[in-house]
Structure 1
Amino acid sequence: MEALGKRMVRVVFLHPDLGIGGAERLVVDAAVALRSRGCSVQIWTAHYDPQHCFSETLDPDLPVICVGDWLPNSIFGYFHALCAYLRMIYVALYLIFLSGLEYDVIFCDQVSACIPVLRLSRQRKKVLFYCHFPDQLLAQRHSAVKQLYRAPIDWLEERTTGMADCIVVNSRFTAGVFKRTFKSLAGIHTDILYPSLNPAAFDGELEELDGLVPENKRWLFLSINRYERKKNLPLAVQSLQALRQRLPLEQRRHIHLVMAGGYDERVAENVEHFAELKALVSSLDLEDCVTFLRSPSDRQKVSLLHHSTCVLYTPSNEHFGIVPVEAMYVRCPVIAVNSGGPLESIADRETGFLCEPTAESFAEAMEKFVKDPRLQQEMGEAGKQRVLEKFSSDAFAEQLHRYILRLTE
């Protein structure tokens, strides 16, 4: 430890696909946080597109090394998990045997299959694994063939996760799921490290919403999530429809919904679900009331949060979900499903509303903002204070840095 105190601690992040999802947001924030504590950081990944990334990764002081993108991410639209495992194993092998890079700690997340490969390194450095959620619980198993395919992958996930020197989870909810899912790891201690955000990304100059939203809208509701079916995005559209049925015609004219989310043309589900949502909006005759944005820029997202009445956060049993924290930081209340991570991030009826995952329940909460013009400001201020107290970037950076230093002792 004394030797490390005289030089910079070198941390390598391994992540399968550095796009613009919640897991990627955490990885980037973690790298920025450790860099602020004097660490040298690099992010290694199997896919990175400078045109589809978080702005921090464009900083030359936060190098991103992409290897193995020539490997397929699916085989004829199937075997996504297997391909993700193979791609991450390749990244780990490249790092160990071909890069010549020296490092002190490896931070990996999502795919644990690379951990035993990292053990092959002569450097024998420690590994911190950040568990967003057990991958096997995210997989659909509609057939006996799919169950047979997943069985060895699920076994490998549990065994390789247990090989990490330190395991961290993103919420109390995930900690409980971790122990129930990985029964052989029930005795392993898992620390909770809540995701945070980079304040600099939210405190800068705002963009105007010219052209994004019609000017005559007084109440702007915002949904931010990847275009994936598990995010239950139709709930936002159906809630808008239910709200409109509750209001007189004059107020209906001033309500608008923005559906903004990560979209990758390489991912078939993104393309298909986007089309499904457009069709739903059309079937409900809501084309004039809904705006779709695919992969908005960081500045667009921040501006939307600042100008919105509230955020509609629709996933059920979300492991944590960084969007509610980002919204509260910019004084934007949140309406979310009353399960999973939002139970820990949102204070019900103080910084937003926790609701049943039904259109009527969401619409009832949305109507409160229409009827009470003070509610947005009051909840917004409470939300800002909650983020500063529980999810500050300084607390996140300090806690993560302690884990890193502990692994170097």
Structure 2
Amino acid sequence: MTSLDDIRPAAQPAVRPPLLANRSVAMVHEWFGATGGSENVFLAIADLVPHARRIVLWADEDVEVERLGLHESWLARTPLRRSKALALPLMPLAWRTVGDEKYDVVISSSHAFAHTVRLGPPESTRHLSYIHSPARYVWSPDFDGRGSGALLSGPRRVLQAVDVRMSRHVHAYAANSREVQKRIQRFWKRDAAVIHPPVDVDFFGGTDVRSAAPRDYLLGVGRWIPYKNFDLMIEVAAEAGLPLTIAGSGPEEARLRRAAADAGVPVTFEVRPTRERLRELYAGARALLFPAHEDFGIIPVEAQACGTPVIGVNSGGLLETVVDGETGFLVGSMRPADHAAAVRRVGELSAARIREHAGSFSTQRFAARMAEWIAYETR
């Protein structure tokens, strides 16, 4: 199995030449949203290879395509760009017909089918793929109910076979967590290095927010969709007898507001907060509630950068981002009382230790390990 721990490059000069400077490179990503963790990872990788052509299936309307240098596929010119579920079966075809250009190196950032792209024969094109997760809709509908509907139940097995067959040309995989590494092995029978995604811990851990916090409320952050379990967060807050702030946006908003009205504790909704406001919310919270099985989970690391402990489930990416009993508590059930009991213990934890741990997921560490991996796999 590929291991970055085994890669020990020779001492580097003070000023490094640009990565893959003498090779033609394409960087590809799925659909490109305005605010997404995978998009930020894609841009962080692209910064390492500034001359690479950046290709996406489509970009949301509020994305500055020209400023970011994005090139969209033919799917961007169809109504399917407004429905990921309907577009999903066509994505492998879109990636195989995205262009006739051939490149020396292709680096894909994939959480659906971007890793199936071919922009040159495998004999002369080196294809590396950073995996946020094998397509949840296709491989893990039990983790995310959005992929379990009747619309995808029929073609799911076909898409799984297509996914495996059309990605055999990938030379090397990297996963964003050990959780995803295991899925890659289970679903695709391939090894992968583990490179945790970058988190802007310098921004969220700034000294200007450390003393601003009353720490008198609980916090939930993320997309308001079923598998994030915001309804459970409301129950935990009620059980703990503490106010709750819910930050984000999503289709579950109306249902969550109805549940909040009957919670018995104050529940405040912050719709699409700015990064600056989100940092304030993290810094003021007694704990971040995160009762979801995630691939990695950038939000818990952002909270920890502010010295805020995390109360979550003992599965998925939280096993890698939270040190149980030191930077938060991981709970072995979905019972509100168990999570509330963990909330009552957060006074045992050290904010300094929590911030220190978050530093291991910095953007600088990601850039260094990603550059090592790319250099090693294209040597």
Q: Determine if the alignment matches structure 1 residue 48 to structure 2 residue 59.
A: yes
Distance 1:81 1:405, change over 3 A: farther
The amino acid of 1:322's aligned partner reads I
Superposition deviation, residue 113 in structure 1: 5.7
The amino acid of 1:226's aligned partner reads R
5+ long unaligned stretches in structure 1: 245-254, 264-269
Report SS of the residue matched to 1:221: strand
Task: Give the equivalent residue in structure 2 for 1:153.
Answer: 159
Residue in structure 2 matching 1:17, options 31, 49, 62 = 31
Structure 1 segments, 4+ long, off by >4 Å, are 3-6, 8-11, 57-60, 100-103, 140-146, 203-207
Task: Give CA-to-partner distance per residue, 1:86-128, whole Å, 9 cap, x none.
Answer: 357536634x33xx7967432231123662543469x953222
* TM-score normalized by the length of structure 2: 0.79
Distance 1:117 1:165, change over 3 A: same
Superposition deviation, residue 197 in structure 1: 1.3
Distance 1:58 1:351, change over 3 A: farther
Aligned residues: 353
Residue in structure 1 matching 2:308, options 322, 332, 335 = 332
Residue in structure 1 matching 2:79, options 50, 72, 75 = 72
Report SS of the residue matched to 1:384: helix
Pairwise CA RMSD of aligned residues?
A: 3.5
1:73–1:84: 8 Å Cα contact kept in structure 2? no
Distance 1:259 1:11, change over 3 A: farther
Q: Determine if the alignment matches structure 1 residue 175 to structure 2 residue 181.
A: yes
Task: Give the equivalent residue in structure 1 for 2:367.
Answer: 397
Task: Give the equivalent residue in structure 2 for 1:249.
Answer: none
5+ long unaligned stretches in structure 2: 1-16
Task: Give the equivalent residue in structure 2 for 1:267.
Answer: none
Superposition deviation, residue 11 in structure 1: 4.6
Report SS of the residue matched to 2:369: helix
Matches within 5 A, 1:9-408: 11-19=25-33, 20-32=35-47, 34=48, 39-41=50-52, 43-49=54-60, 51=62, 60=67, 62-67=68-73, 68-73=75-80, 80-81=84-85, 83-84=87-88, 86-87=90-91, 89-90=93-94, 93-94=97-98, 96-97=99-100, 104-112=105-113, 115-119=116-120, 124-135=124-135, 136-139=138-141, 146-182=152-188, 185=189, 188-202=190-204, 218-244=215-241, 255-261=242-248, 263=249, 270-271=250-251, 273-286=252-265, 289-316=266-293, 318-355=294-331, 356-369=333-346, 372=347, 375=348, 378=350, 380-388=351-359, 390-408=360-378
Distance 1:113 1:193, change over 3 A: closer
- State how far apart, in whole Å, the 1-side matches of 2:330 and 2:119 are: 42
Superposition deviation, residue 334 in structure 1: 0.8
Task: Give CA-to-partner distance per residue, 1:269-311, whole Å, 9 cap, x none.
Answer: x32x22221121123354xx11222332222222222222221
- State how far apart, in whole Å, the 1-side matches of 2:150 and 2:127 are: 35
Distance 1:220 1:130, change over 3 A: same
- State how far apart, in whole Å, the 2-side matches of 1:126 and 1:302 are: 40
Superposition deviation, residue 132 in structure 1: 2.1
Report SS of the residue matched to 2:223: coil
Task: Give CA-to-partner distance per residue, 1:349-395, whole Å, 9 cap, x none.
Answer: 101111132211111112234xx4xx46x1x211221122x323222
2:103–2:125: 8 Å Cα contact kept in structure 1? no
- State how far apart, in whole Å, the 2-side matches of 1:17 and 1:343 are: 28
Percent identity (aligned): 23
- State how far apart, in whole Å, the 1-side matches of 2:106 and 2:81 are: 30
The amino acid of 1:381's aligned partner reads A
The amino acid of 2:112's aligned partner reads V
The amino acid of 1:408's aligned partner reads T
1:133–1:319: 8 Å Cα contact kept in structure 2? yes
- State how far apart, in whole Å, the 2-side matches of 1:6 and 1:218 are: 47
Report SS of the residue matched to 2:243: strand
Distance 1:127 1:5, change over 3 A: closer
2:173–2:192: 8 Å Cα contact kept in structure 1? yes
* TM-score normalized by the length of structure 1: 0.74
1:257–1:291: 8 Å Cα contact kept in structure 2? yes
- State how far apart, in whole Å, the 2-side matches of 1:127 and 1:339 are: 31
Task: Give CA-to-partner distance per residue, 1:23-57, whole Å, 9 cap, x none.
Answer: 2333233334x26xxx4355432343474x6xxx7
The amino acid of 2:260's aligned partner reads V
1:221–1:308: 8 Å Cα contact kept in structure 2? yes
Distance 1:398 1:153, change over 3 A: same
Distance 1:5 1:393, change over 3 A: closer
